[in-house]
Structure 1
Amino acid sequence: MAVADIKRVYIISHGSQKEEIISELQKVGLVEVTDLRERLATTDWKLLLKEWGEPELRELDKNLSELDHTIDFLSDFEENSSGFIAGFFSPKISMKKKEFESTGDFSDYKKICDQCNDLETKLNELKNEENRLLNTLCHISVWMDLGIPLEDTKGTEKTNIVLGTVSAFDEMEKDIIELASETYLQVVSKHEEEYHILVIYVKDKEDEITRVMKKYDFARVTFPELTGTPSEVRESVNERLSMIEKERRDALAEISCMLKYRSQLLAVYDHIYMDREREEIIKNVAKTDTSFLIEGWIKEKDIATLNQRLKIVSNELEIYTREPEDNESPPIALENTAIVDPFEAVVDMYSPPKYTELDPTPLVTAFFIIFFGICLSDAGYGIMLSILSIIMMKKYIVGPTGKKFLRLLAIGGISSFFFGVLSGSWFGDLFKMPAIWINPVDDPMTMLIFALILGVVHIFVGIGAKTYNSIMQGKIKNAVFDQLTWFTLLVGVVLIILAEMDILYLGIIPYVVAGLGAMALVLTQGRSQNGVVKKILFGFASLYGIIGYFGDVLSYSRLMALGLATVVIAMVFNNIALMTKEIYIVGTFMAAIVLIFGHLFNLLVSTLGAFIHTCRLNYVEFFSKFYEGGGRRFSPFRTSTKYIEIEEV
């Protein structure tokens, strides 16, 4: 349970072996390759940074983009039977290794991509045309009673024919007839307060009639691209819409036939994706005319395996390793037991540790399990949470981080079951079971005191971890003056509180311990300041930090509050179900619905609250005492896929 030893590794070989060695590095997955371009670009070695693989990378990126677009297009037409929960995991497709390796190259599937692009274009064109025709039907619908062809509404040599809408038709008609009695006006249709009218007038009166139309906000309507009467237009549009629907069905049938190639397209994508990663690594190496150099990081325990695997590929290579230098920042690789490993996800959410820093995961694990169990604290919910987590791990293909979270929840469910048995909570009070230890509903104060005691222990462990870090980094003065002094003061304060509560009597010893701790802080916390007065003033000011420690301890009261809330909400749903059961005929059914959905809701909300607040106690109250973070995870160059989960046979 520690940070793995990391070494700097250099691999030097003949240029002709480049492809084989890099391919083997990808298969073995033990080396994190460093980008030499950044480190050497400003040195005399920059002459070695000849460009390799740029055209290949561009071609691979183009192929990946085309495949990705085709896959997304086909995915829109695939029947999704994976269910609601599976959508959160985005599972990969399982494929035998032999089947994956036998998948053809991109050129074999280029035709499929082109066909899908053509079909997508066709569907888009049909959709656009359909929208345009539907828009035409909408506009033409109010002119169905117009008996003249629309192309004739342009007028004649001596007359103008105008279509339009107006609200005050009667008033406008009166004014136009008074002005030009030979004018013809016809109401074609009326929709709500709008009149859709036809106006025929002589061109000699155009200016006068136009002024009258503007007076009544007459809105002219034209159909420059349509021919025939409105009813004839409607008939032709409906015929074309029927043809569009047929063409769409034909296109969708073709797409359905294409769906059988989707898994192969996914495999081809991952093949090209792996090729691209190799080409990217090739860009990171330095080379001469006859040799090349790869620089990276490797776990010390994997050096022998790397030597063995690469020597099989070529004897014309040299592998050299060394310790990280002081100005280097090696990646971090954690090696924890199966119980502790899932809780690395909690640490990663905050920040991975630095290479020279203590791995906090084992400490986080112990307290996370306890805190999570207290917050959820129901035996029934614990069983459900563990079972659901295990089922999801078995049923769905999830990534490493997803597996860690599910295992974490399964362990949290076991802890909740344990504390639920102690408190006698089985879906609240649905099953009457006696409390073996503390029932937070009956004795909240005892539960609160226990939570605060856990907080004190948690903070002391944090100070102890900081002391360990300082000693391991050779900062003995910091360990004594910054951690041991605070530890002494806080121990004294705790002993004083216990004495005042008549729990423990040690005479004046608690006051002496607290006094020594306070005096040591006053004398040491200002040591970086200039002048005796400033040193003493800064020392006295440091004592104010005791308020922060009291605030941190009080923050652990949330453990009691969340545990109490889980039980009380469960009891509320039980009472509602009990009252609902009395309803005639449907009472039993409704009570069952309330119990099922009520407890599922409470499980979801309480689990989320337990996880968030447990993380918060670790991040804010615990990590602030010793942990810096800022490390970078060890990420070896290995075979990785986006869509396919390769099954080893």
Structure 2
Amino acid sequence: MLLKPARMSRERIIISKEHRQPVITALHDLGVMQIEQLPENVAEMLNKSDDLDYRQISDYDQKFRSLESMLYKYEPKDKYSMEDTAELIKKADSVTITERVAQITREMASAEAELKELRDTMNLLKRMPHTRHDLAIFGTDKIASFLVEGRDLQKFNSEAHKEIKECVILKGEYSTIASISRDSEKEFGNYVRSMKLSVEAIPKMSGPVSANEKLIESKISESESKYEALKSELTNISEIHYPLVSAIREQLDLEMEKLDVVSKFGFGINVIAIEGWVPEEDLHRLRSALKRITNDGFIMEKIHTKELPPTKLSNPVTTRLFEFFIRFYSLPKSDEFDPTLIFAVVFPIFFGFMIGDVGYGAVMLLGSIWLLHRIRHPPKKSHIPKPISKFVNTIISNNGLTVLAKSIMPGAVIAIFLGVIFNEYFGFQLPYTAIFNVETGLPTLLLVSGWIGVAMVSFGFVLGFLNNLAIGHKKHAVGRIGWLMAAWGIVIFGLAVLHKQPLWFPNYSVVLAYFLLIGGIIMFLVTEGFESLMELPSLISHILSYTRLIGILLASVILAQVIDFIFMHSLTHSIPLAILGIVILIVGQLFNIAIALFEPGIQGARLIYVEFFSKFFSGNGREFRPFASRRQRTVSTVKDEQLIQR
């Protein structure tokens, strides 16, 4: 139904235990049922005996998760099919590479650690002061030596022997070797920390520096060869086995999900009871799958309950992206209106109206197209500074940027269309007469914005009336009519004051306004209580709030014209002033574009969220979460034509 979430039905399914595995798999792959805990009165009739082997599946799942993490990733060419748990376990047992992969991983980690240690030692030798001494003298049972570096090295060289007992120093141009008694290590450490020097312990070695460098180079070469051989072997194993391992891991994850949801089932001696919410449009699909799997040996019945169903939004593809804004505000309950379609129509109009400039609209349209292309086809090397891109990604994901870009595009098109009518091109006017001038037509625009406010507020009250009436809240429905009458009473009275008309007979419209206002106040006082009278001033402010559409439009137009005025007059003076004028034009227009992007977006959404939604929308709905997950490496057990978009 238009403007309503998908209609839901609570269903109970009873199947034979022999069909348990294929039915659970089909429910998962169909993804149409949010499985709920069985009611106590039903659960008490069943003994809940469940003979599923949780431990076996869990052990296999952990094993293959670990194995997959050790292998290099390769995209599978084909998907794997595993009909049941027995076939899954059989394929899992056929994978015999676990021990060898674990051994290779350990040996690679050991080789990496050894390489790091050797390279660190080589780096230390190259930074040491030149010495021909046998390196054995720098590390004995009684002597420890350290390579010292830092800004205050000269001060250290001149004072260390005074501060540290028995400290022997070998000075170099950029570093110093300090040899101390092992009993003085703590004292030495405190001293160099106080001077903020860099200290590195010299390991025990023997022989001259050149001999040690050759030895370490040889060991590095040997370790690198060993590491590369291990990596090559792991690459070959991964290329052959990763697709199957990842498919088994995915299927094991799915089996674990199934085991988790089984806790909500009811188990009898020979039967299983499953209960949950299903969209009515998917009931036929579910029945067909169950009939095929069980050979028509199942019971499926509708459960009548007063519990509010979960919410599944059901909108046309063209407006589905605007669900993001509704969810951002609040998910509607399943028994109230889904305002996504209204938002999808109204928001772009408000956004484009508040911009009203061909140039700004074109920049936003082209910018949105560029952003979408960049997200779908990211460049190998970005020219955008990393801090900026990282900051943007911390605020909003690529999916959020995609939604924002797509939502801006229709508003940008409307801005271009209205810009042609207003003859506004970055604040400049082309040589044709505007169909409508923003500045001279300001009174008319204010009147239009006022009527937009009346229409939106009235429409909100009408939706509130219809929604309350549909769910049986007749008292609240009457209250919405009372507010609608009061709103129109205020509007008619306000128009009479603006046009300086008589405020009593023979002006029958004003008399009607009094009747509507007083009658409306009585109706919502009776239905909603005396405290609701406090909301009457907000009703007036909500209607007048829509004049901000004109305020933002006018501010953008005037700011653009001021920037253009400064630029044009700078051209008639000196070259430096002309250059300054060009800078002001570019920076000023970019600033105005930024304002035109954010301010209409924020204010347009606010006018819908606050002034419109408050008349009928309560939100706080419970999202429909079907028992399902996406398969990437395994084949679904349900035919493609039976799958639901999710």
**TM-score normalised to the size of structure 1?**
0.70
> Which of 19, 38, 42 is residue 17 of structure 1 equivalent to?
19
User: What residue number does 1:367 align with?
Assistant: 346
The CA deviation at 1:421 is: 3.7
Q: How does 1:225-624 map to 2 (within 5 A)?
A: 225-247=204-226, 260=239, 267-315=247-295, 317-322=297-302, 324-326=304-306, 328-377=307-356, 378=358, 379-381=361-363, 383-384=365-366, 408-425=407-424, 428=426, 432=430, 437-438=435-436, 440=438, 447=445, 450-480=448-478, 482-502=479-499, 508-509=507-508, 511-513=510-512, 515-516=514-515, 519-520=518-519, 523=522, 527=526, 539=530, 542-560=532-550, 563=553, 606-607=596-597, 610-624=600-614
Q: Does the 8 Å contact 2:80/2:633 carry over to 1?
A: no
| Cα 1:424–1:53 shift into 2, 3 Å | farther
> Which of 125, 137, 142 is residue 152 of structure 1 equivalent to?
137
Instruction: Give distance in 2, aligned partners of 1:252 and 1:431.
Output: 67
Which ranges of structure 2 fall in alignment gaps of 5 or more residues? Answer: 379-396, 642-646
Instruction: Give distance in 2, aligned partners of 1:502 and 1:68.
Output: 78
Structure 2 SS opposite 1:637: coil
Instruction: Give distance in 2, aligned partners of 1:348 and 1:319.
Output: 36
The CA deviation at 1:299 is: 2.8
Letter in 2 for 1:300: E
Q: Does the 8 Å contact 2:143/2:180 carry over to 1?
A: yes
The CA deviation at 1:621 is: 2.5
**1:189 matched to 2:171:** yes
The CA deviation at 1:467 is: 1.7
Q: Does the 8 Å contact 1:570/1:599 carry over to 2?
A: yes
Instruction: Give distance in 1, aligned partners of 2:562 and 2:247.
Output: 52
**1:65 matched to 2:65:** yes
User: What residue number does 1:79 align with?
Assistant: none
| Cα 1:31–1:560 shift into 2, 3 Å | same
Structure 2 SS opposite 1:303: helix
Q: Does the 8 Å contact 1:8/1:324 carry over to 2?
A: yes
Instruction: Give distance in 1, aligned partners of 2:310 and 2:191.
Output: 79
Q: Does the 8 Å contact 1:566/1:606 carry over to 2?
A: yes
Q: Does the 8 Å contact 1:56/1:279 carry over to 2?
A: no
Which ranges of structure 1 fall in alignment gaps of 5 or more residues? Answer: 76-92, 201-205, 530-537
User: What residue number does 1:81 align with?
Assistant: none
Instruction: Give distance in 1, aligned partners of 2:243 and 2:601.
Output: 37
The CA deviation at 1:16 is: 0.8
| Cα 1:470–1:641 shift into 2, 3 Å | same
Number of aligned positions between the proteins: 591
Letter in 2 for 1:493: I
| Cα 1:400–1:384 shift into 2, 3 Å | closer
1:229-273: CA deviation from partner (whole Å, max 9, x where unpaired): 444434433444444555555566566657756666655554444
1:73-107: CA deviation from partner (whole Å, max 9, x where unpaired): 649xxxxxxxxxxxxxxxxx8x88x7454999663
Q: Which of 289-298 and 360-369 deviates more?
A: 360-369
Q: How does 1:36-115 map to 2 (within 5 A)?
A: 36=38, 39-40=39-40, 44-45=44-45, 47-48=47-48, 50=50, 52-59=52-59, 61-62=61-62, 65-66=65-66, 69-70=69-70, 74=73, 99=79, 101=81, 107=92
Letter in 1 for 2:300: Y
Instruction: Give distance in 1, aligned partners of 2:401 and 2:40.
Output: 38
| Cα 1:149–1:440 shift into 2, 3 Å | farther
| Cα 1:141–1:344 shift into 2, 3 Å | closer
The CA deviation at 1:330 is: 1.3
Q: Does the 8 Å contact 1:385/1:409 carry over to 2?
A: no
Q: Does the 8 Å contact 2:486/2:516 carry over to 1?
A: yes
Structure 1 SS opposite 2:618: coil
**1:627 matched to 2:617:** yes
| Cα 1:248–1:410 shift into 2, 3 Å | farther
| Cα 1:128–1:400 shift into 2, 3 Å | closer
Q: Does the 8 Å contact 2:310/2:334 carry over to 1?
A: yes
User: What residue number does 2:385 align with?
Assistant: none
1:380-434: CA deviation from partner (whole Å, max 9, x where unpaired): 24653675688689989x99999877764554444444434433445x3589485
| Cα 1:472–1:222 shift into 2, 3 Å | closer
1:191-249: CA deviation from partner (whole Å, max 9, x where unpaired): 56x8645689xxxxx99xx9999999999996453333444434433444444555555
User: What residue number does 1:533 align with?
Assistant: none
Q: Does the 8 Å contact 2:145/2:202 carry over to 1?
A: no
1:318-340: CA deviation from partner (whole Å, max 9, x where unpaired): 333325411x2212234434444
The CA deviation at 1:627 is: 0.8
Instruction: Give distance in 1, aligned partners of 2:105 and 2:550.
Output: 58
Instruction: Give distance in 2, aligned partners of 1:214 and 1:70.
Output: 43
The CA deviation at 1:292 is: 1.2
User: What residue number does 1:85 align with?
Assistant: none
User: What residue number does 2:389 align with?
Assistant: none
Instruction: Give distance in 2, aligned partners of 1:9 and 1:301.
Output: 13
Q: Does the 8 Å contact 1:40/1:46 carry over to 2?
A: no
Q: Does the 8 Å contact 1:422/1:438 carry over to 2?
A: yes
Instruction: Give distance in 1, aligned partners of 2:346 and 2:136.
Output: 83
Q: Which of 291-300 and 21-30 deviates more?
A: 21-30
1:48-84: CA deviation from partner (whole Å, max 9, x where unpaired): 253635225414642563366357x649xxxxxxxxx
Q: Does the 8 Å contact 2:372/2:402 carry over to 1?
A: no
Instruction: Give distance in 1, aligned partners of 2:559 and 2:228.
Output: 53
| Cα 1:351–1:108 shift into 2, 3 Å | farther
How many percent of aligned residue pairs carry the same amino acid?
A: 20
Structure 2 SS opposite 1:319: strand
Instruction: Give distance in 1, aligned partners of 2:270 and 2:398.
Output: 41
Letter in 2 for 1:295: E
Q: Which of 301-310 and 601-610 deviates more?
A: 601-610
| Cα 1:370–1:329 shift into 2, 3 Å | same
Q: Does the 8 Å contact 2:489/2:517 carry over to 1?
A: no
Instruction: Give distance in 1, aligned partners of 2:44 and 2:331.
Output: 34
Q: How does 1:156-167 map to 2 (within 5 A)?
A: 167=155
Structure 2 SS opposite 1:48: coil
Letter in 1 for 2:466: Y
Letter in 2 for 1:463: F
Q: Does the 8 Å contact 1:52/1:282 carry over to 2?
A: no
Q: Give the CA RMSD over aligned residues.
A: 5.5
The CA deviation at 1:274 is: 3.7
